[in-house]
Structures are given as C-alpha cells and as structure tokens.
Chain A
Amino acid sequence: GENVEQHPSTLSVQEGDSAVIKCTYSDSASNYFPWYKQELGKRPQLIIDIRSNVGEKKDQRIAVTLNKTAKHFSLHITETQPEDSAVYFCAASSDRGSTLGRLYFGRGTQLTVWP
C-alpha cells in the first residue's frame, strides 16, 4: 500500500517568516494530495488540496506544490502568524478501486510560530 513520509516532525519559525513542510509518497498511482490542519484539542480540517494534473495551487498565504516525477509535495505558508501554530498532516490517495476513498496520512508536523 501507499506510504507517506512527512518532514520535519517539528518546525519553529518567527512570526512573518515562511514555513515549508515536505511529504513524499511511494505509490505512483496516487493522484490526490490534501493537507489538513489540526489545532490543539480540535479535529483535523482540510486547508488545501491538489490533484496530479496541476503542479501548484495557492490560497492566500498557503500554497502547495507537487512533483510527480520525484513523488513529493510540499506545503508553503508565507507571512506566518501565531494562529498558524498547529499540527499539519499531508495525505495521499488514488483512484485504485481497492482503496478508493482512503487517505494515507503522514505523521504530522507540529508548527510553532513565535510572536
């Protein structure tokens, strides 16, 4: 099955700096890559996603890039703010019938933004 690895496990940045979280995946059939944000004591919530037919997607201060050849994708947060502090999870899924609908999650990155 799919194996998603996420780095780093913890990341500390100063307010206003950029943060980058990277994930790699193993299954070349994966074609959907969402990112979830989980604030302390809350549920994971989707913040952005990308499909394999595009290389980059932006939503205000958040962007995701995808390199299908290298099988890696990254989350970029610019002008970080203290409220960006949370655990971020990457995930991958494919159209393969046997696993349709299932997301394979990375282990998560604890992002701390210092004021």
Chain B
Amino acid sequence: DAGVIQSPRHEVTEMGQEVTLRCKPISGHDYLFWYRQTMMRGLELLIYFNNNVPIDDSGMPEDRFSAKMPNASFSTLKIQPSEPRDSAVYFCASSLARLAGERTDTQYFGPGTRLTVL
C-alpha cells in the first residue's frame, strides 16, 4: 500500500486566494482526519470523518475552512479566502477502527502539505 497520499506537498499562495488540499486515505480505512500543525498551537484536529460522514468539525477555525469526503478514497480541505495566519503544515491521517472485531486505532499520517500564505 502506498500509504496516505496528500497533494500538493507545498503550496504558496497570496492572501485572499482559494486553497484546496487533497487527501487519499489508505484503502479500506474507515476514518479520515485533518490536522493542522504550527509551532504555536501544536497538532490540532480540524475535522474527522467516519465512513465519509463528518463526525466532529469543532476544530475548524472558522467558516473560511470547509472539508468534504465525497467517497471513501478522497477528501478535500478548502480554505477560502486564505489568510497569512493559515500558514501551517496540514496533515491528513486515516485509520481502521476495528480489525477482526478488535480495536486498532492506529492513525497513519500522510506526508503533509506545507501551506504558505503571503
């Protein structure tokens, strides 16, 4: 398996532009998570999905952020309009809650997208 795939790996944009980050989870996983990592705030959970349904989006900082998961193999995180304070590394992770009836919970992270908003 190729692991969790994220694109782009780096994104530099200007304030006010729309940014779309993409994630392909590990095949068969039923949970997908979006995290944001900064020096100041550490690793923050933004939103997570179970079987393509959003479960908790309380970590989404404001209405400028939105996330979708149209199918089991693809998710997007969109920022519109982007601001300099959105600059961070955004990680997508996936997990399989149960394997053969037992909990697994291990989250596998993608390589991240480093976003810079000028």
Contact = CB atoms under 8 A, between A and B. Distances in A.
Contacts of B97: 100-101
A82 B45 CA distance: 30
Interface in B1-50: 30-31, 33, 42-43, 45, 48, 50
Interface residues of B, number: 22
Contacts of B33: 102
A95 B103 contact: yes
Given A43-B112, A101-B31, A34 B105 contact: yes
A43 B31 contact: no
A34 B95 CA distance: 13
Contacts of A89: 43
Contacts of B105: 32, 34, 49, 93, 101, 103
Nearest to A102: B48
Name the 3 nearest CB pairs between A and B, nearest first: A43-B109, A101-B31, A107-B42
Interface of B: 30-31, 33, 42-43, 45, 48, 50, 55-56, 91, 95, 97, 103, 105-112
11 contacts: A32-B103, A45-B109, A46-B107, A49-B105, A49-B106, A89-B43, A100-B97, A101-B48, A101-B97, A102-B48, A108-B42
